[in-house]
Amino acid sequence: MRVKKYLFGALLAIGVCSGSGESSNPALSAAELPPEILRDCATGDSPCADNHFDINWIARLPRSHLFLVKRVRCESEGCNGWLVTKDEQGVTQVMLSVTGEVRVEHGNGKFPIVRTRAELSDNYISYARYDWADGQYTRTETQLMHRIDGFECANDEDCDAAAKRALRDKQPSRAVRIWQQVHGVNWI
């Protein structure tokens, strides 16, 4: 009897969470991706396969589902990623195209906050934040960071403080590397 109650409760929860006629496990296949994602994927007569993409469900929206799509075989952090919606009729649309590592945070709104990290060079990294406003994603924050010996600093003050800490820690060569990159100084 307990098993029947548990199964009934689980089935009821699935029905309540997913709504009438909806799947409780939303899916998006490579064949359903918008053309702008598939454009450079096909070679000859062979279309993109599901194993060419890492597709993750992100959120349920008022009339659609939101997915994060990334290429599986990407050799650098300069790879594209897309936030794609799939509506109740199966129509897909790219909501945001980004480059680099992507992190999604659930905020107060219906659409999640998107943060990216892109390596511009060995010495610079760009961080960006995208928020949903007026029917589209908009970049609301961008920060360029210096990267020296695995350490990141945002501005002259942060970098100078790091160089001074290196001097206090008896690491003058690290202090010089920081000042070289940030200020072009090669002496202490």
Asked whether residue 90 carries a pLDDT value surpassing 50, the answer given is yes
Stated pTM of the model: 0.72
The pLDDT of 155-179, averaged and rounded, is 90
pLDDT in tens, 99-108: 888 889 987 7
Asked whether residue 169 carries a pLDDT value surpassing 50, the answer given is yes
CA–CA distance, 117 with 96 (Å, rounded to integer):
15
**Per-chain mean pLDDT for the chain:** 79
Contacts 24+ apart (CB under 8 A), 62-69: 62/110, 63/87, 63/88, 64/88, 65/26, 65/28, 66/95, 66/111, 66/112, 67/26, 67/28, 68/102, 68/104, 69/28, 69/33, 69/37
SS3 state of residue 57: strand
CA–CA distance, 70 with 34 (Å, rounded to integer):
13
Tell me how far CA of residue 66 lies from CA of 40, 138, 155, in angstroms: 22, 17, 35
Annotated domain spans of the chain: 2-148, 149-188
Dihedral Cα 80, 85, 89, 90, nearest 10 deg: 30
H helix intervals, the chain: 2-18, 35-38, 156-168, 172-183
Ranges 11-15, 46-50, 177-181: which has the least confidence: 11-15
Q: How confident is the model at residue 13 (pLDDT cuts 50, 70, 90)?
A: very low
Asked whether residue 31 carries a pLDDT value surpassing 80, the answer given is yes
